[in-house]
C-alpha cells in the first residue's frame, strides 16, 4: 500500500531527477565522445524527465524503501543509457559499468546476504542468456545490450527469481510490440523492413522498461 511517505519521496525523486537532467545528459554525450552541441544538442529536460519519472515510479514500487536509493540510481543510469541508445544505437561501457556499480554498492545498504548472493547469480544468468541470444541469431540484441544485462539481473535478482523472469520476458515482449509497430509503419510507407528495424529500434530502453515491470511484480 502506498502511503504519504512514499508519495513525498516519489515527488522528491522526480524533482531530483529533473534537476540532474542536464548533468546526466552531459554524461551521456561525453560517453559517446560527442560533446559538441553541433553534433548533438543537449536535451537535459527530456533526460531529466526520464530520470525523475523512473526514480519516482521505482520509489512507489519498491517492496522496501531501503531499496529506493539503488533504484533511483538505476533510473539515472537508465536515462543516460536511453539517450545514447536512442541517439546512436549505442550503450557505452562506462554507462553499463555505472549501472552495475551503483547496484553493487547500494544494494548492500539493506544487507541481506541471501538476496545479494542471488542477485549476482541472476546477473550471471541473465548475461549468459542474452549473450546466447545475441550470438545465435537476429534477436535485435547488440553487445551493448548484453553488457547491460548484468545490472538488470543484479537488481531483479535481489528481488527474486520471479522478478527476473518477469522483467526479462517483459523487456522482450515490449521490444517485440515496438518492432511490430515499426514493421507496420515501414510497410505502409513502403520502406525496407530490415532497414527500418536497424535504424529505428534500439533494444536497451525496452530491457530497462521490462526491469521496471519486474520490479512491479515483486
Report whether 142 contacts 134 (CB < 8 A): yes
**Alpha carbon distance 149, 131 (integer Å):** 9
pLDDT value at position 40?
47
pLDDT below 70 — which residues of the chain? 34-42, 138-140, 186-200
In sequence order, the 6+-apart residues with CB closer than 8 A to the CB of 198 are none
pLDDT value at position 29?
87
pLDDT value at position 184?
76
pTM score, whole prediction:
0.91
Residue 44: half-sphere exposure toward Cβ, Cα within 13 Å: 11
3-state helix, strand, coil in the chain (%, to 5): 80, 0, 20
**Alpha carbon distance 213, 218 (integer Å):** 9
pLDDT value at position 99?
97
| Cell numbers at 87, concatenated | 541517439
Give phi and psi for 119, each to the nearest 5: -60, -45
**Alpha carbon distance 37, 172 (integer Å):** 34
| Cell numbers at 171, concatenated | 523487456
**Alpha carbon distance 104, 97 (integer Å):** 10
pLDDT value at position 39?
43
Amino acid at each position: 500500500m502506498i502511503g504519504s511517505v512514499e508519495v513525498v519521496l516519489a515527488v522528491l525523486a522526480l524533482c531530483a531527477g529533473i534537476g540532474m537532467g542536464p548533468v546526466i545528459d552531459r554524461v551521456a554525450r561525453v560517453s559517446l565522445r560527442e560533446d559538441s552541441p553541433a553534433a548533438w544538442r543537449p536535451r537535459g529536460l527530456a533526460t531529466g524527465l526520464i530520470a525523475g519519472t523512473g526514480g519516482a515510479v521505482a520509489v512507489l514500487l519498491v517492496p522496501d524503501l531501503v531499496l529506493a536509493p539503488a533504484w533511483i540510481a538505476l533510473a539515472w543510469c537508465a536515462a543516460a543509457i536511453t539517450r545514447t541508445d536512442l541517439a546512436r544505437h549505442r550503450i557505452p561501457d562506462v554507462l553499463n559499468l555505472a549501472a552495475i556499480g551503483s547496484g553493487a554498492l547500494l544494494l548492500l545498504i539493506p544487507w541481506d546476504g541471501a538476496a545479494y548472493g542471488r542477485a549476482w547469480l541472476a546477473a550471471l544468468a541473465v548475461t549468459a542468456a542474452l549473450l546466447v541470444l545475441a550470438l545465435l541469431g537476429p534477436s535485435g540484441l547488440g553487445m551493448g545490450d548484453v553488457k547491460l544485462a548484468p545490472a538488470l539481473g543484479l537488481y531483479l535478482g535481489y528481488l527474486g527469481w520471479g522478478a527476473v523472469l518477469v522483467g526479462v520476458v517483459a523487456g522482450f515482449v515490449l521490444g517485440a510490440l515496438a518492432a511490430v509497430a515499426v514493421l507496420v509503419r515501414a510497410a505502409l510507407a513502403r520502406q525496407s523492413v530490415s532497414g527500418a528495424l536497424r535504424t529505428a529500434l534500439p533494444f536497451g530502453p525496452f530491457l530497462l522498461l521490462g526491469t521496471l515491470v519486474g520490479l512491479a511484480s515483486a
